A and B are shown apart, each in its own frame.
Chain A
Amino acid sequence: MNSEYEKLKIVSRYELLKQFRRKRFYGAVIITILAQVLAIVLYKGLNVPASLPTPLPDTSKLFALFITSVGSSLPILFSVFFAGDSIASEFESKTGYLLFPNPVKKRTIVIGKYVACFIATTVVLVIAYVVSVAALLGFYRQLPVETWGALGLSVVLASSVLSLAFLFSSVLKGGMGATIGTLLTYLLIFPIVSGSLSTSGHKPWFMLNFAGSSITSIYRIPLAEGLFGGRAGGLTPADPTVSLFVMLAYFAFPFLLSIWITQRREMI
């Protein structure tokens, strides 16, 4: 009999096959590339640096900030569509009757599914960054070192959003409900809480959306951060180091909770 690690590799491999055979994966890749190209065209066409309330010089860092904010946010949102039905679909589509009576721990199944979603999301993220890097090298012949930091933070943010989606997927009956629940939480509820805290003078450093804005604040460009979500309510922008740990916490707790819930969930 295989070890649980071997089984984890098997589950991850076949779940990844699932992701790569879905139209939504290719849709995510195409939309991300198109959005990146559009962002580049708009930046150059509208001369964004000169159009800012306080005009800034057109540097590679400002350009990188602009296009990597687009290149990060879309794949992270698409990750919800990859992960939303991961656990819920086993119950909703009744495929759990096929998978669960096998000698494999449910936690191995959940981790394997997560690994597959993470790889699929990272592939889309990396494609977006390849477009960004190509544009940076094409226009400026230089690559700001912060771009790599932003990529790293994007990967960590994606892993946190995936965890959130897994939590919803482990609790809710349907994949669609889990997807919508995650999107509403990340795009609506978290910003409302962060906005309320900021308005009352409290820095929402512990909120995932605020921590995620470290992808832009890492470039340390004043004013421009505010335009792309890096600064909330006139407060200081997200600190990348603190944000990294906040995002790791958002990765760990919902993910562990999703494993715990799935282990106890019955296939009725």
Chain B
Amino acid sequence: MLTMRESINIENLSKYYNSFLALENLSLKVKMNEDVALVGPNGAGKSTALKILCGLIYPSSGTAYINGINVVEERERALANVGAIVETPEFYPYLTPNETLSYLGRLRGMGGPDLSSRIKEVLHLVKLDEWAGVRIEKFSRGMKQRLALAQALLHNPPILILDEPTIGLDPRGLVEMREILKKARKDKTVLFASHMLAEVVQVCDKIALIDHGRLLVYDSIPHLRKKYHKSLEGVYLKLTEGAI
């Protein structure tokens, strides 16, 4: 059952890649304005879950809802509420950040002076203002990562789905990205996949730890620390023992 307070609702999601089971009956509910980190070892199924939520792949069974809208059945309507970074972002090299954001903004129904001012705003936020008119083919990985965040925030979506958004950033970029996410989380629901537990603690309230496609634990970070008498890293190591 759905309640209006649930921004993301994953129900018994399973996904096979041929015979490989990447997700096994994963169920997860993220309430409105909650910030949840999806953590787990490599190959645990984090990216697979996020890709299903973004309509990039189809589940073998189960379903997922965004703001009560079935992603599998009404992909476009569900995605209207989402800003996403999935995997390492790649952009069209022949476009500039201004053109890329204009393209994506228009696809989302934005336009005119509002879109122009919002593009300036988000490019300033990710510190790419000076590069607004330069073709992306000249961009470093870190700059692309910043631009990826800019496009995710462009339409001010109520839900952010971010797959390791800080990969490729230099130390300054890391700090700045975390600050942006901390500000964004105040009025948004964030589902955030990451390997960096220190980052997770700063950005999220709760963690969903998955391994071999199964949900091991889903709880608030302070509660987990209390329950296991360990740091978050210790909890992670204990629950994923033998994973590698």
- In the bound complex, residues from chain A placing their C-beta under 8 Å from that of B76 are 103-105
- Interface 0/1 of A86-111, CB less than 8 Å to B: 00000001111111111111000000
Using CB atoms, name the residue of chain B closest to A19: B94
Q: Which of B82-104 contact A (CB under 8 A)?
A: 82, 84, 86-92, 94-95, 99-100, 103-104
B54 touches A2 (CB 8 A): no
Q: Are A103 and B80 in contact (CB under 8 A)?
A: yes
Contact with B along A1-43 (1 / 0, CB 8 A): 1100001001100100110011000000000000000000000
Interface residues on A, range: 20 to 34
A102 and B92: CB pair below 8 A? no
A17-B94, A22-B94, A267-B51 known; A103 vs B108 contact (CB < 8 Å): yes
B82 contacts A101, CB within 8 Å?
yes
Which single member of B56, B86, B88, B99 contacts A14 (CB below 8 Å)?
A: B99
Q: Is the CB of B79 within 8 A of A101?
A: yes
A100 touching B90 in the complex, CB below 8 Å, given contacts A7-B107, A14-B99: no
By a CB distance below 8 angstroms, the chain A residues around B86 are: 97, 101
- What's the nearest-Cβ distance from chain A to residue B70, in Å? 14
Q: How far is the CA of A98 from the CA of B152 in the complex (A)?
A: 9
With a cutoff of 8 Å between Cβ atoms, the chain A residues found around residue B51 in the complex are 267-268
A95 vs B91: C-alpha distance in the bound complex, in angstroms? 6
In the assembled complex, how far is the CB of residue B223 from the closest CB belonging to chain A, in whole angstroms? 32
- The contact of A18 among B87, B92, B109, by CB within 8 Å, is B92
- Residues in B with CB closer than 8 Å to A7 are 107
Complex interface: chain A residues within 8 A of B17 (CB): 268
Within the complex, the shortest CB–CB distance from A16 to chain B, in Å, comes to: 11
Contact between B89 and A100, CB atoms less than 8 A apart:
no
Q: Are B56 and A102 in contact (CB under 8 A)?
A: no
Inter-chain contacts of B92 with A (CB < 8 A)? 14, 18, 95, 98
A129-155: contact bitstring with B at CB < 8 Å (1 yes, 0 no)? 000000000000000000000000000
Q: Which residues of A contact B104 (CB under 8 A)?
A: 98-99, 102
Number of residues from B at the complex interface, CB < 8 A: 32
Known contacts A14-B99, A17-B95, A101-B54, A95 near B106 by CB under 8 Å: no
Q: Are B80 and A17 in contact (CB under 8 A)?
A: no
Do A1 and B109 form a contact, CB below 8 Å, given A98-B151, A101-B55? yes
- Known A-B contacts A101-B86, A105-B76; the reply to A266 vs B58 at CB < 8 A is yes
Q: How far is the CB of A203 from chain B (nearest CB, A)?
A: 45
Please give 18 more A-B residue pairs, beta carbons under 8 A apart, in addition to A11-B107, A267-B51, A268-B51: A1-B80, A14-B99, A93-B90, A94-B88, A97-B86, A98-B90, A99-B104, A100-B54, A100-B55, A100-B56, A101-B54, A102-B107, A103-B77, A103-B107, A103-B108, A105-B76, A268-B17, A268-B57
Q: Interface centre among A14, A17, A96, A101, by most B CB within 10 Å?
A: A101
Q: In whole Å, how far is B181's beta carbon from the nearest beta carbon of chain A?
A: 18
* Chain A residue nearest in CB terms to B161: A101
Which B residues are CB-close (under 8 A) to A266?
56-58
B90 near A95 (CB under 8 angstroms)?
yes
Tell me the minimal C-beta distance from A114 to chain B in angstroms.
Answer: 17
Return 27 A-B CB contacts under 8 Å, by A number. Answer: A2-B107, A10-B103, A14-B92, A17-B94, A17-B95, A18-B92, A21-B94, A94-B89, A95-B90, A96-B56, A97-B56, A97-B87, A97-B89, A98-B90, A98-B92, A98-B104, A99-B104, A100-B54, A100-B55, A100-B56, A101-B82, A102-B107, A104-B76, A105-B76, A266-B56, A266-B58, A267-B57
Partner of B56, one of A101, A103, A104: A101
Q: Give the chain A neighbours of B106 by CB distance below 8 A.
A: 2, 10
Q: Which residues 151-193 of B sit at the A interface, judged by CB distance below 8 A?
A: 151
A109 to chain B, nearest CB (A): 9
